[in-house]
Structure 1
Amino acid sequence: MSGVVRETAAGSVEAASTGVDSEWIGMMSWQRDAEGIVTLVMDDRDHPVNTMNDTFIDSIEAVNDRLAAERDSVTGVILASAKSSWFAGGDLHELREGSSANAAADYARITRMKRQFRRLETLGRPVVAAINGTALGGGFEVALSCHHRIVADHPRTRLGLPEITLGLFPGAGGVTRTVRMLGLESALTTALLPGTRFTPRAARSAGLIDEVVGSVAELDGAARAWIAAHPDASQPWDREGFRIPGGSPRTDGVVPALAVTLPALPARLRAQLGGADYPAPRALLASAVEGAQVDIDTALDIETRYFVNVLGSAAASNMIGAYFFDLTAVTQGASRPADIPRTSVTTLGVVGAGMMGSAIAYTAARSGLSVVMTDTDPAAGKRAFGYAAARAVSAARRAHPELTEAEADRAADDVLARIRFTLDLTEVAAADLVVEAVYEDAGLKRDQLTAIEAAAGPGTILASNTSTIPIGSLASAVTRPHNVVGLHFFSPVDRMDLVEIVRAPETSDETLARAFDCARQLRKTPIVVNDSRGFFTSRVIFRFIEEALAALDEGVSPVTIERAARQAGYATPPLALIDELSLTLVARIWAENRVATDGSAPGTVWSPVAGAERALERMLSAGRPGRSEGAGFYDYADGRRGTLWTGLAAHTAGSQPGAGQTRTTLPPREPFVDLQERMLFAEALETVRSFDEGVLTSLADANIGSLLGIGYPPWTGGVMRYIEQYTGGIAGFVRRAEQLSDLYGLRFVPPASLTTLAESGGSLAAYATSPAAPAGGISAASRKDIP
């Protein structure tokens, strides 16, 4: 680095005391050297990261005032950061408070900030963003206002505009500038609508970054070299004759290719959203298309107006609450025993090299852990290595599109080198933590845990990857049950972020903490739940499945069922989901758990309504067990899902008089909404029962578990937030649940705990953090459903 800024041990940048025109201006260190280059080091000393708060806005305005006043003696500007992440983005605490009442103030504040970005990029001097770490959202929009963007290459650095994943869109110039950089269609499909988080080299390939250097130490020199070569730098859109790449949607100059694709953009967006009501993507599209027809300053104002409107939406508030605040609480260990020191796993053992075991092994190796795995079938090792190799190559190419085939293979070799297969269980048992991932059979899993414990040391953690079997029943087979914990991974393991950590009655705090730390090493989001049949996620998603099958038995069109779920915001509609799980598996889980509970819990998720079982039995009788066999609710060709089976209509209750319920059509009151809310309410009510039974103890774990584990609609902000933000609040939710129970069965009767909460005007936060959640719900004996 130069004498003006220097790299710290953490990889960030700090100002050096050189005696050359240096001072602090708000949160920015101003350093001008003898060559006239001003280095601005952003460092909000009141916060761990730089964000677009009032301190930042005041600072950049003051800096711009000084740059304008001293422009003749300035030869260039370098924008750097003293944080390990370059700039974190918008202040989500402030953004979450957006509302129609605050719209005027939000508009004024955002307009003031964007005006400062325009002043910076129209200074008449080259401005370079020297990016030493992650810059996402508003942070990347700061970089976009610079003439040149240089990034230090690092595997964990991410760049881009992912605001759409928080129910927002880039409102600080991100839409307007990327459209002018990449073209309308490319900006929308590459960066904006997907909310892609790019690696440095991928961002360079996409055209969002201009230059990638090997290290933070090289940033300053590269920035100075560019400034020297471009003394009169300006943004392309500020130069005479500028045209948006690919053309503008203006009627007087639209190019043929854009004329063909432009009308299809709204339809493509609707298909992408499944018809669900998300305001941000629609506003983003409108802002991009309208802004592309006018000058840059008018476009920025259009963007601001749409952004402020979205900022006041319930979806934005819910999604910020979940994907930032709840997710932060979960990943930082709010449910982890606080007094246990952090640990790390060096070697992970995996018993069972089937689909789940292979996926767990690959995910661990990808995360840098050594893996030792075993299986009774010697050929399973070869299949596991093949799986890991294919995944590793695919991941390398996604992260680095510029890699050649040979380079991608070498990247895969690095991962494969960390995996070792053996037939000797003793070698696996020597690992720090061993995951049992054999077939979902309680007896087999007990046998495996017993064998692992016999070969392992006294401190080895024994984890079971099961989706429904109570961990306590498995731990009863070993002599050290305090070392046993559930690690419920979701398929596909390398892509699903969630891990459900299940604490059995005898699981120790140390075991729980070590399992949590291991999950974080695997780059997973771990929620913590107490032991129960099906834990939290499985029992709740089975309510979703049950409701769809019950509706099918009533004679509701399968097309309507799937469309209702998609338009409610579910990523995977229920009949497609059942196909993925397999109808055989669903039937077996219902049957096995009914036996395991001695049939003592009628009306529970493990004893579904008769209509749901009838619908499933009809499909199995027709030889339609699901995707794995190429035939389920959908038809399949070469493993790819096609359309709904054309013969499905002949296997609904409505076509078989007397076989189903007497009601074959939905009631007249907004039938489509009824169907959507049956799914949403079924899962929400089961979640409340999970709190009542002590399975759940954290709202954040419930919300994140529902979003990342069971596919609950993101606009809700999670299953418990859905209850509280329902029209009329908790009381309104309770009234609607009672109405649904009158129409569809007592499974919709709200638990007594929720009714009491509604009557008292209490909050879910107080309920969830109470010393003991009130026991509630109607008794098993009183549960009856529609025949």
Structure 2
Amino acid sequence: MSDVVTYSREGNVGLITVNYPPVNALSHAVRSGLVAALEQGQKDSEAKVLLLLCEGRTFIAGADIREFGKPMQEPGLPAVVEQFENSDKPLVAAIHGTALGGGLEVALGCDYRVALSSARVGLPEVKLGLLPGAGGTQRLPRLTGAQKALEMITTGNFVSAKDALAAGIVDSVEDGGDVKAAGLAYAQKVADEDKPVRRVRDLTDKVDADKGSDVFEQFRTALQKKARGQFAPFKCVDAVEAAFTLPFADGMKRERELFMECMDSPQRAGLIHSFFAEREVSKVKGLPKDTPVRDVNSVGIIGAGTMGGGIAMNFANVGIPVTIVEMKQEALDKGLGIIRKNYENSAKKGRITQQQVEDRMALITGSLDYDDFKDKDLIIEAVFENMAVKKEIFTRLDSVCKPGAILASNTSTLDIDEIASATKRPEDVVGMHFFSPANVMKLLENVRGSKTSDEVKATVMAVARKIKKVGVMVGNCHGFVGNRMLHKRGAEAMALVNEGATPQQVDKVLTDLGYPMGQFAMSDLAGIDVGYRIREELRNAGENVAPSWMDKLAEQNRLGQKTMAGVYKYEEGSRKPIPDPEVEKIIGEFRKEQGITPRDITDQEILERCMYVMVNEAAKILEEGIADRALDIDVVWIYGYGFPAYRGGPMFWADQIGLDVILAAVEKYHREVGADHWEPAALLKQLVADGKKFGDL
């Protein structure tokens, strides 16, 4: 028997105990150990009931990621679950922490399930482009019915022990923290009451009740919007439906067929890459693991606008008190009111309680006085993009804040070193670029200046984890990683419209690729005035920024969704972009002013010019060391800009397209378009010459 799974007995209860830190993942050793321990329990004549439980902080939390991509060694998980289900002695699973994926499938192979009240269960395989492949799609609906099973399996979301009890997934929920005691008590009850073996596969009530239901078609219809372009969620529906249309054994065969289709899908490769990339970005190149991290127990924020308010919510959500400073009481009151409204809306949707609304609001204090920052550990400036204003603010912060306080700017484009030059402590200055809406978007682009200390770098990465963001450390240049690439895509999108495309055609190409919205709809969401201010800032700095019809929109106060009109128009209460003839007229007038004769532009040209220009720019970003790895760029774009995770990020996607194909197109557009950003990156040329990919770096 494996060392990671042991068998023992207490009274007439046989204990199968998994101990494979940190999360008792289903490695080959665990699978083999489960089978061996089960066999031992079956032979133990003194054991009337068998109890499966885990040591450490969690029940079996899923597959062993160390075995991803390697050939499966026998026994496979479906066989393990089947052997558990075939036990001639009742089996009880005692769940604490999380029972996820294969872990929940093992529990479903048991006859009874008891969970601590703090436990959660789920089948998250869809998030890796897969479906549960060890009977989860066949057994779960036999306990929950079709609706709940479909909800859990197509979203991959976890459910609480309380909800699992209500859904029929577990049979009992116990308070307290002793999972062994809870499991033994329930197992003893099974023994004392002489409860029979109760195999999930034999349960038919929920299946019979939902046979012929239209719930499957309803889910497919809903997924057309929620999971547009994705492969696995639709296969999940097919697999669950098989539980209601086929005998169990045939349903298991159908699940395996659909599982293999998902395994063969390129989307699975993209999602697996995204999964590992998200974990890898926390490791910052050149930053020792033992770098000290400063305490951040209080935060100051400058600006109560959309960004400042959203940033404040991130800290209040995790119990860190925040002081927001504004210039005028009216602006402060408005900002605090919006924060409360956001929390109240979350409470109405059941995401938080009313008490949590009040608790979080109590952690956010408004002020008009910079002196209220004097004891703060971290101060984040979140005002509009103007270098002179930001330098003035940092000069004031330098004079007020305590030694060791971290001074951060939420700038999306400006030079962190120039901002830091306004202080006597550039080593404490860093960029913390949140994405709008800051209380929702997961990315935090942490920007190191040339003098930012390792301690500050380590601290802001730790802060990202604390406030449940995906932190990526990047270097300092105009636009950093995300916006630098976005600006190149934006320039091409603008050029394409100038040359004859419509904004909606450009946007459709991008949404067909998998983005939640296109370039121009995104401009409306962010606010057209944001880009306008950036262009004005560059013009004021002497940069040669071409005229744009977008400038005309800003000058006419068509600022996007917030004014109900931008590139598109919007109806009250709706975020759906509607093409506007007025904008077509503005674009037409601009073309005449510039002497442009519009032409027909294909969707393929739009795809190449919008996407390949980004890949080329990303190669330059890697050359310059602004990003340390291609996967850093992938994570920035997945979590900050809505790049479809199932395509793995722009660099992974480029590798799939073929860097030789992309280089040939870049060289073609460099000849035809002539813009500097089409100058082929040296790294791109080198990778093609060497027959390598970005993933090989």
TM-score between both structures, scaled by the size of structure 1: 0.81
Quote the offset at 1:443 in angstroms.
1.7
2:424 to 475, 479, 489: 479
Instruction: Tell me whether 1:571 sits opposite 2:548 in the alignment.
Output: no
Instruction: Tell me whether 1:703 sits opposite 2:634 in the alignment.
Output: yes
Which residue pairs with 2:686 in the alignment? 756
1:631 to 554, 557, 565: 565
For residues 48 and 724 of structure 1, the distance between their equivalents in structure 2, rounded to whole angstroms, comes to: 33
For residues 305 and 622 of structure 1, the distance between their equivalents in structure 2, rounded to whole angstroms, comes to: 57
Which residue pairs with 1:65 in the alignment? 39
Aligned AA (1:193) = T
Aligned AA (2:519) = P
Which residue pairs with 2:465 in the alignment? 520
1:82 to 18, 38, 55: 55
For residues 452 and 80 of structure 2, the distance between their equivalents in structure 1, rounded to whole angstroms, comes to: 56
Which residue pairs with 1:43 in the alignment? 19
Aligned AA (1:84) = R
Which residue pairs with 2:317 in the alignment? 366
Q: Is there any run of 5+ residues in structure 2 with no aligned partner, and where?
A: none
Partner of 1:373: helix, strand, or coil?
strand
Change (3 A) 1:426 1:646: closer
Aligned AA (1:737) = V
Which residue pairs with 1:319 in the alignment? 271
Which residue pairs with 1:341 in the alignment? 292
Asked if the contact 2:123–2:152 (Cα under 8 Å) also holds between the matched residues in 1, the reply is yes
1:498 to 432, 440, 443: 443
For residues 287 and 639 of structure 1, the distance between their equivalents in structure 2, rounded to whole angstroms, comes to: 37
Change (3 A) 1:109 1:295: farther
Partner of 1:628: helix, strand, or coil?
helix
Aligned AA (1:42) = V
Aligned AA (2:397) = I
Quote the offset at 1:87 in angstroms.
1.9
For residues 117 and 340 of structure 2, the distance between their equivalents in structure 1, rounded to whole angstroms, comes to: 25
1:372-391 correspondence runs (5 A): 372-391=323-342
Quote the offset at 1:686 in angstroms.
1.9
Which residue pairs with 1:428 in the alignment? 373
The more displaced of 298-307 and 732-741 is 732-741
For residues 286 and 98 of structure 2, the distance between their equivalents in structure 1, rounded to whole angstroms, comes to: 27
For residues 446 and 236 of structure 1, the distance between their equivalents in structure 2, rounded to whole angstroms, comes to: 66
For residues 435 and 250 of structure 2, the distance between their equivalents in structure 1, rounded to whole angstroms, comes to: 46
Deviations 1:162-204 (A, max 9, x none): 222222222222222233333334422x212222133444444
Partner of 2:87: helix, strand, or coil?
coil
Change (3 A) 1:765 1:289: closer
For residues 712 and 423 of structure 1, the distance between their equivalents in structure 2, rounded to whole angstroms, comes to: 39
For residues 436 and 166 of structure 2, the distance between their equivalents in structure 1, rounded to whole angstroms, comes to: 30
Quote the offset at 1:364 in angstroms.
0.7
Instruction: Tell me whether 1:244 sits opposite 2:207 in the alignment.
Output: yes
Aligned AA (1:721) = F
For residues 147 and 398 of structure 2, the distance between their equivalents in structure 1, rounded to whole angstroms, comes to: 57
1:443 to 376, 381, 388: 388
Which residue pairs with 1:271 in the alignment? 225
Partner of 1:486: helix, strand, or coil?
strand
Quote the offset at 1:493 in angstroms.
1.9
Aligned AA (1:430) = D
For residues 631 and 559 of structure 1, the distance between their equivalents in structure 2, rounded to whole angstroms, comes to: 15
2:129 to 167, 179, 199: 167
Quote the offset at 1:81 in angstroms.
1.1
Which residue pairs with 1:14 in the alignment? none
Asked if the contact 2:53–2:183 (Cα under 8 Å) also holds between the matched residues in 1, the reply is no
Change (3 A) 1:744 1:55: farther
Partner of 2:575: helix, strand, or coil?
strand
Asked if the contact 1:151–1:219 (Cα under 8 Å) also holds between the matched residues in 2, the reply is no
1:208-219 correspondence runs (5 A): 208-217=169-178
Aligned AA (1:76) = V
The more displaced of 341-350 and 385-394 is 385-394
Change (3 A) 1:149 1:682: farther
Partner of 1:721: helix, strand, or coil?
helix
Change (3 A) 1:505 1:645: same
Change (3 A) 1:128 1:599: same
For residues 618 and 470 of structure 1, the distance between their equivalents in structure 2, rounded to whole angstroms, comes to: 27
Asked if the contact 2:298–2:320 (Cα under 8 Å) also holds between the matched residues in 1, the reply is yes
Which residue pairs with 2:645 in the alignment? 714
Asked if the contact 1:381–1:421 (Cα under 8 Å) also holds between the matched residues in 2, the reply is yes
1:541-560 correspondence runs (5 A): 541-560=486-505
Quote the offset at 1:733 in angstroms.
2.9
The more displaced of 540-549 and 303-312 is 540-549
For residues 395 and 216 of structure 2, the distance between their equivalents in structure 1, rounded to whole angstroms, comes to: 62
Quote the offset at 1:489 in angstroms.
0.9
Q: Is there any run of 5+ residues in structure 1 with no aligned partner, and where?
A: 1-23, 98-104, 249-253, 601-606, 768-787
Partner of 2:210: helix, strand, or coil?
coil
The more displaced of 380-389 and 481-490 is 380-389
Change (3 A) 1:737 1:301: farther
Quote the offset at 1:425 in angstroms.
1.8
1:452 to 381, 391, 397: 397
Which residue pairs with 2:256 in the alignment? 304
TM-score between both structures, scaled by the size of structure 2: 0.91
Asked if the contact 2:622–2:630 (Cα under 8 Å) also holds between the matched residues in 1, the reply is no
Quote the offset at 1:521 in angstroms.
2.0
Which residue pairs with 1:19 in the alignment? none
Aligned AA (2:458) = A
Instruction: Tell me whether 1:508 sits opposite 2:453 in the alignment.
Output: yes
Change (3 A) 1:41 1:238: same
Partner of 1:52: helix, strand, or coil?
coil
Quote the offset at 1:706 in angstroms.
1.4
Partner of 1:90: helix, strand, or coil?
coil
Which residue pairs with 1:31 in the alignment? 8
- The total of aligned residue pairs comes to 692
Change (3 A) 1:593 1:147: farther
Deviations 1:577-598 (A, max 9, x none): 11101223223322322433x2
For residues 373 and 420 of structure 2, the distance between their equivalents in structure 1, rounded to whole angstroms, comes to: 19
Quote the offset at 1:236 in angstroms.
4.7
Quote the offset at 1:627 in angstroms.
0.5
2:104 to 128, 140, 144: 140
For residues 564 and 516 of structure 1, the distance between their equivalents in structure 2, rounded to whole angstroms, comes to: 35
For residues 52 and 235 of structure 1, the distance between their equivalents in structure 2, rounded to whole angstroms, comes to: 22
Partner of 2:501: helix, strand, or coil?
coil
Change (3 A) 1:192 1:738: farther
Quote the offset at 1:566 in angstroms.
1.7
Quote the offset at 1:205 in angstroms.
4.9
Change (3 A) 1:33 1:396: farther
Cα-Cα RMSD = 3.0
Quote the offset at 1:500 in angstroms.
0.8
Instruction: Tell me whether 1:330 sits opposite 2:269 in the alignment.
Output: no
For residues 73 and 185 of structure 1, the distance between their equivalents in structure 2, rounded to whole angstroms, comes to: 41
1:114-263 correspondence runs (5 A): 114-154=78-118, 158-188=120-150, 190-205=151-166, 207-217=168-178, 220-221=181-182, 224-225=185-186, 227-228=190-191, 229=193, 231-239=195-203, 242-244=205-207, 246-248=209-211, 254=212, 258-259=213-214, 261-263=215-217
For residues 296 and 84 of structure 1, the distance between their equivalents in structure 2, rounded to whole angstroms, comes to: 34
Partner of 1:66: helix, strand, or coil?
helix
For residues 159 and 679 of structure 1, the distance between their equivalents in structure 2, rounded to whole angstroms, comes to: 41
Which residue pairs with 1:100 in the alignment? none
For residues 393 and 257 of structure 2, the distance between their equivalents in structure 1, rounded to whole angstroms, comes to: 60
Deviations 1:118-156 (A, max 9, x none): 2312424433322221232222322232333333234xx
Change (3 A) 1:124 1:652: farther
Quote the offset at 1:503 in angstroms.
1.0
Asked if the contact 1:128–1:223 (Cα under 8 Å) also holds between the matched residues in 2, the reply is no
Partner of 2:472: helix, strand, or coil?
strand
Deviations 1:504-551 (A, max 9, x none): 122222222222222222222211111111111112222333333333
Deviations 1:79-107 (A, max 9, x none): 2111313223123343335xxxxxxx75x
Change (3 A) 1:273 1:594: farther
1:612-651 correspondence runs (5 A): 613-614=548-549, 616-617=550-551, 619-620=553-554, 624-647=558-581, 650-651=584-585
Asked if the contact 1:554–1:653 (Cα under 8 Å) also holds between the matched residues in 2, the reply is no
